[in-house]
Each structure stands twice: as C-alpha cells, then as structure tokens.
Amino acid sequence: MIPSDGFVVYVALSEFMAVQRISIWQKAPQLVLSALLIATVAVPLGCRPRDGVGNTDVKVLDSYRGDVYRSLDPPKQFDAASSRIISHIYDPLLDYHYLKRPYELTPNLLESMPEIGEDKLTYTFKLRKGIKFHDDPCFSGGKGRELTADDVLFTIKRFADVNVNPQSYPALLQNRIKGLDEFREKTRQQKDLDYDQENIAGLEKVDEYTFKIVMIEPDPLLLMSFATNALSIVPKEAVEKYGRKLEHHAVGTGPFTLAKNPRKGVMVLKKNPNYHGTYPTEGDPDDQSQGLLTNAGEQLPFVDEVRIPLIEEAQPRMLKFLSGELDSIGIDRDNFTKMAEKVSNEFQLKGKFAKQFNISSVDALSSFYITINFRDKVFGQNKVLRQALAYALDTPAYIEKMENGRGHTLNTIVPLPIAGSEQSVSVQWYSHNLQKAKAKLKEAGYPEGKGLPPVVILYGSQDNITRQNHEFLRAQLAKSGIQLKGEFLSFSDYLGRKEGGSFQLASGGWRADYPDAENFYQLFYGPNKAPGPNDGSYQNPEFDRLYEQMRRMPAGSERNQIIEKMALLLKADVPVVFLKAPISVGMRQKWLLNSKPNLMLGSTAKFLDIDTEMKAEGLK
C-alpha cells in the first residue's frame, strides 16, 4: 500500500527479527516502528482536509496570500500583503471603478465625488448616511455605530501623526493640505497629542456628514490619495481600545469582518451583512456580453466567507489551485510554458488546462527600464551614446524570450491602462536596429565599441531570474560592441548606490501609486533628482516647466498634448531605455463568477461570486 523505502525497510527488519527469534523486550524497536508507521501513514490516509467539499449552503471564496502581512492598521501598512487584507475590511473615501478602464475614481463612502470650490483649493466631501462600522467590543454595546465626518478628520490627523505613520505620509499628503505638515511637525515634538484639540486650517467639519479639505495649491491628483488603503477610515474607539493591537485586529466599514487571524495559516473573513456597497451598473463595452453585469445593482458582497491561507511557495500554490482548493492563481514563469501560450496577441490555456480553467490577463500598472545616470562621465554628457544603447536593445525579443511574451514594448514611460499613456499621446520609441546602434556608437566616439570601457549595470536582486535577464541583455549589447557587466546587489545596497549617484546604468521599475501619467513623469523632474525619485538626475528645464504645468491640470486633451511634448523630450534625451510593461496572466476556476482583474483595488473579493454547486462538484 505504501511504496516507500521506510515500509520496505520495516518489512525487512521484521523478517530479520523473526529469523533471529528475538525476545519480546528486544522487539521494542519493532513495536515502536509499528506504532509510528501507523501514526505517520494511516492517520492521514483518506482524511485529506478539503474544506467546503459538498457544502452548497455557504459560499466560500478560496483565496491565498504569498507573504505575511505586516500590519492591519491602515496608516501603518506599507506593503502589498497588508494592503490587500485591509481592503477587505476597511473602506477609503473613494475607490476605483471595478469594471471601467482606464481606471476611474468613484465615490465609496461618499454620496458623490467631492465638489471643487471656485478657488480650486477647497474640496467639499459629503458622506453617505447610514454607513456603519462592524460590530466590535470597542463600541458601546458592541454594536457598530454610524460613520461620521469626525471619523474622517480623526483618520487624516492620525495618518499625519509621525508616531503612527513614519512611512506613507510624504508620498500621499505632504505639501498638500493646509496646516497638515505643521501638525505633523508638532507630533514629532509631542507624542500622544489629543487630535480633537488640534485645529488644522485645511480640515473643516461642516456637519455630521460633511467636511471640507483646503489645499495648499491646486492639485487634481489629491483625490487619488483618498482612494488608497492607507487612508481607510478607522474609528477612534478602536484606536483607543486596541492601541498597537490594532495591527492585528481590524474594525472598519468594509465588506468583510476579520473572523480568524493567525499570523500564518488560514485567515478567515466573514461577510458584513450591513455592507453599504452595491455591484456597478455599468462597465466597459464587452462587460455585458461577458456576464460581468449580471449582478448589476445588487447588494455586495456575494460570498459568505473568504479563506486566505498563507502559501509562500509557488509549487504548493499551484497544486492547490489545480486540485480546486484555490479559486484563482497567477501563472508564474516556470508554469507558463507548460500551461499557456500566446496566440495572435491573445493568451490561451493549453490542452487539459483549457478544458478545466479560464484564463485571464491584465496589463500591469508598472514599467521596467534601465536608468542612465546623468552624473556618469561616460553616459551623462553623451546623448548619442545613450541613443546607441536604445537602438541596441531588442525589447520585443526580450519580452518574447525572457517573459514568454507576457509584456508590451513601451513607447512612453506610462503603462497602457493609465491615463496619459501612449494610447492618448503619439510617440514612437526607438526600434531595435543594429545598424543604427553601430552608427550612433561611432558618432559617439566609440566605433565598434572601441575605447568604451565595460558598462556596469546595477541590479537590486541576486536571484537566478535577474542573472538570466542580465545574460540576455549582455549578449544583445555585445552585438553592437557594448560590453555590459552586471553588479547584483542586496536591495538596500542597490537603493543606496542609486541615491548616492554611484552607478552608470541601473535596472529599475516603477509601479503606479495612482493611475495617472504624472506619477511616472515625476521620475524625470529635475528637483526630484537623486536621492529623490529622479534616480538618474536627469535635468531639462523645458521638461520641468511642462511637468509643473501638467501636474496642476485636470485630465483631458490639453493635458495630453503637454504629456506628449514631455515624452518627446525623453525620447530625444534618453534618460532611460525602456524594457517592458508586464502583463499578468492568471487562471481561475470556472465556478468563479464576476471576475475581472483590477489592479488598483487591493481586493476584488466583494464583487466575486461562486457557483457553489459547480464548485462542490469540482472538488469531489
């Protein structure tokens, strides 16, 4: 029954002992062996735990997490794992539309989008009435009370408190709201401030459901900060009752409540029956035909329970998905060639996988590129050399061979699903051309690469995939005469070298904090030079002028024209060489309904539904 070496040895040992006619006391090892073998092998046989099998009464969404979360307290989270869990339980004021692309802000806890005053500085927010926090012992009688404007103002102040949030304030609210930076400085000097006693010029309560935010200067992008999970609304009572324990406890207004929360193991979330949200009633043109509007207008969430085990390794994750124990999964590079293929720009599953599962693909909100350091003596002053580099790289081949086709080439720094990308501006990046690369190299003073010392590129990782990618780039550039040498560093060393300006080229990437082109073009804004986001310390006064103009403008064709000019300047100056905009490919079980990838939402669980009969059948 058990064809293991242990069993064979056990039999041999029994025979040996029998032959030797060893007395009872001498058979002790044999008896121990028997007991332990039975315990090891017989107990689990036939009792493999598979939750939810045959149970059609409870809708369970089987999800997973690849990393341990760091904190469930919204202003303290700064990692994807925490953000994802938080988005199940808490609500930010605004959210991104589940179905519409490009990504579009929608009111979440608000009655409507905020009203912008004539001064372009004052935003008036009106909360929806009747939204309640989850039932929790922190509230009087254990019943969740109604959300009010006080909760929002408390949340913003707490977010700005340096003792609570040393991390995400600079990126989201610094230099934006009148008086808030001063309040933050005050918290640096004085811990445990009573927020209620602190008046901030830019935060004003109008009534129980209305408040105003006054900005320092016009900034249409501010609203996107209020759609991040870090600015989800936290009730004061929970902070007072739980203190630091709020990092592992959660009291929000979100679609699910935290039922079980082991740091590792299976986290269990239960449906919030009082949730305020409803399924969207409109979407993209294809959404209706794909059944994504079947539940339009219905109360969310649809599933009763979300189970989120921690599975850190790729193999067990994939095996659990294949056996039906997970409802969806991303396909990694190793599994891609076995399970899927790209046919005419469409991703398809192969053979048995196509029969059993559905495939999904989505353009990621990130760009990958090679940053060129303008402070480097060789590259910094030699635009033609930088252009030679751009011609020398065959990015379509890179995407095809190193990423199995899971990516786009880039014409601008902005990935496709984001407003201001190449879909709304007309710019063509350098195409691979070995002749032109060699000609540019000659023009730069390095014919056939002669006289050009080996070019060093930094990587912030030491894993095999990074080294394989480097080998590909090295071989490509060698064809035009450029010798590339890789330096593989720990992440913090890599950041230190970039910020110190001690590099020639650096492999890099940027994921959108919010879905707007500004978030990518700030990487080239002069005043942001290293150690700021402009790693290569690119300087172009004209670019800076256009950037400052663009960041204060609302989305539209006029703004796109400016973005186009900026993209053309980058093309001429080549402060980076583009590599790819990734495409995430995943599989989902056929019983998973309403599934449409949305990378701006931490979690889409509240929109998902399960065909429980199909799932029960599939798990048998």
Partner 1 sequence: MVGYIIRRLLYIIPTIFGVAVLVFVLFTAAGEDPVRVALGQHATPQAIADLEALWGLDQPLWRQFISFLGQIVTFNYGESYFTGEVLSEAFASGALVSLSLTLPPFVFGLVLNIAIAMMIAYYRDTWIDRFSTATAVISMSFSYLVYIIAMQYFLAYEFEWFPINGYAPGWDALPYLALPWLIIILVSIGPDVRIYRTIFLNEMQANYVRTARAKGVSERSILFIHILKNAMIPILTFTIVAVPFLILGSFLMERFFSIPGLGDLMITAINNGDFPVLKGMTMYITMTYALFNLLTDLLIAAVDPRVKLH
φ/ψ of 611, rounded to 5, equals: -85, 95
Residue with smaller CB distance to partner 1, 16 or 337: 16
φ/ψ of 290, rounded to 5, equals: -90, 10
> Does 24 engage in binding with partner 1 (CB under 8 A)?
no
122-126 vs 484-488, strand pairing mode? unpaired
Identify the CA nearest to 370 among candidates 480, 514, 469: 469
Taking the alpha carbons at both ends of the chain, their separation in whole angstroms is 23
> Does 442 engage in binding with partner 1 (CB under 8 A)?
no
Binding mask 551-580 for partner 1 (x = CB under 8 A): ------------------------------
Least Å distance, CB 80 to partner 1, is 11
Least Å distance, CB 85 to partner 1, is 13
Beta-carbon contacts of residue 114 (< 8 Å; ≥ 6 apart): 123, 124, 125, 213, 223
Spatial contact of 596 and 292, defined as CB atoms under 8 Å apart = yes
> Does 193 engage in binding with partner 1 (CB under 8 A)?
no
Using the rule CB under 8 A, which residue among 56, 122, 167, 290 binds partner 1? 167
Residue with smaller CB distance to partner 1, 184 or 596: 184
Least Å distance, CB 262 to partner 1, is 7
> Does 315 engage in binding with partner 1 (CB under 8 A)?
yes
CA–CA distances in Å: residue 123 to residues 1, 218, 219, 481: 72, 10, 11, 57
Residues 350-409 close enough to bind partner 1 by CB under 8 A: none
Indicate the angle between helix axes 541-551 and 557-573, nearest 10 degrees: 160
Using the rule CB under 8 A, which residue among 53, 121, 162, 569 binds partner 1? 162
Using the rule CB under 8 A, which residue among 11, 24, 48, 620 binds partner 1? 48
Residues 503-522 close enough to bind partner 1 by CB under 8 A: 510
From the number of C-beta atoms within 10 Å of its C-beta (0-12, 13-18, 19+), residue 25 rates as exposed
Beta-carbon contacts of residue 29 (< 8 Å; ≥ 6 apart): 13
> Does 532 engage in binding with partner 1 (CB under 8 A)?
yes
Using the rule CB under 8 A, which residue among 378, 384, 495, 616 binds partner 1? 495
Kindly state the tokens that stand for 454. 């080996």
Q: Which residue stretch of 282-290, 321-329, 382-390, 399-407 sits at the interface with partner 1 (rule: CB under 8 A)?
A: 321-329
> Does 54 engage in binding with partner 1 (CB under 8 A)?
no
Least Å distance, CB 585 to partner 1, is 22
From the number of C-beta atoms within 10 Å of its C-beta (0-12, 13-18, 19+), residue 414 rates as buried
Binding mask 323-342 for partner 1 (x = CB under 8 A): x-x-----------------
505-511 vs 455-459, strand pairing mode? parallel
- Give me the residue label for tokens 């041999």: 12
Residue with smaller CB distance to partner 1, 422 or 516: 516
Sheet architecture: strand order including 256-260: 60-62, 305-309, 266-271, 256-260
Q: Which residue stretch of 9-17, 123-131, 203-211, 588-596 sits at the interface with partner 1 (rule: CB under 8 A)?
A: 9-17
> Does 170 engage in binding with partner 1 (CB under 8 A)?
yes
Buried b (16+ CB within 10 A) or exposed e, 427-458: bebbebeeebbbbbbbebebeebeebeebebb
Using the rule CB under 8 A, which residue among 445, 453, 454, 496 binds partner 1? 496
> Does 531 engage in binding with partner 1 (CB under 8 A)?
yes
> Does 320 engage in binding with partner 1 (CB under 8 A)?
yes
Using the rule CB under 8 A, which residue among 196, 217, 397, 491 binds partner 1? 491
**Interatomic CA distance for residues 123 and 116, integer angstroms:** 5
> Does 114 engage in binding with partner 1 (CB under 8 A)?
no
Using the rule CB under 8 A, which residue among 310, 362, 439, 555 binds partner 1? 310
Residue with smaller CB distance to partner 1, 117 or 170: 170
Kindly state the tokens that stand for 7. 């069993």
Identify the CA nearest to 274 among candidates 133, 420, 106: 133
> Does 502 engage in binding with partner 1 (CB under 8 A)?
no
Residues 208-267 close enough to bind partner 1 by CB under 8 A: 244, 247-248, 262-266
Q: How far is CA 530 from the centre of its chain?
A: 24
Least Å distance, CB 4 to partner 1, is 7
Least Å distance, CB 111 to partner 1, is 34
Using the rule CB under 8 A, which residue among 61, 227, 250, 311 binds partner 1? 311
Q: Which residue stretch of 21-29, 139-147, 378-386, 547-555 sits at the interface with partner 1 (rule: CB under 8 A)?
A: 21-29
Indicate the angle between helix axes 383-392 and 557-573, nearest 10 degrees: 100
> Does 194 engage in binding with partner 1 (CB under 8 A)?
no
Least Å distance, CB 157 to partner 1, is 17
Least Å distance, CB 599 to partner 1, is 18
Identify the CA nearest to 258 among candidates 301, 302, 308, 298: 308
Binding-site size, partner 1 (CB under 8 A): 67
**Interatomic CA distance for residues 364 and 418, integer angstroms:** 10
> Does 53 engage in binding with partner 1 (CB under 8 A)?
no
Least Å distance, CB 288 to partner 1, is 38
Task: Give the largest CA-CA distance in the chain.
Answer: 100
> Does 445 engage in binding with partner 1 (CB under 8 A)?
no
> Does 36 engage in binding with partner 1 (CB under 8 A)?
yes
Spatial contact of 512 and 526, defined as CB atoms under 8 Å apart = no
Residue with smaller CB distance to partner 1, 78 or 488: 78
> Does 33 engage in binding with partner 1 (CB under 8 A)?
yes
Return the ∠ at Cα 163 (arms to 158 and 164), rounded to 5°: 45
Least Å distance, CB 50 to partner 1, is 8
Kindly state the tokens that stand for 318. 């994939």
Kindly state the tokens that stand for 65. 């997490």
Return the ∠ at Cα 511 (arms to 510 and 512), rounded to 5°: 115
Residues 63-82 close enough to bind partner 1 by CB under 8 A: 68-71, 78
Binding site for partner 1 (CB under 8 A): 4-6, 9-10, 12-13, 16, 20, 22, 26, 29-30, 32-33, 36, 39-41, 43-45, 47-49, 68-71, 78, 162-163, 166-167, 169-170, 174, 188, 244, 247-248, 262-266, 309-313, 315-316, 319-320, 322-323, 325, 490-492, 495-496, 510, 531-533
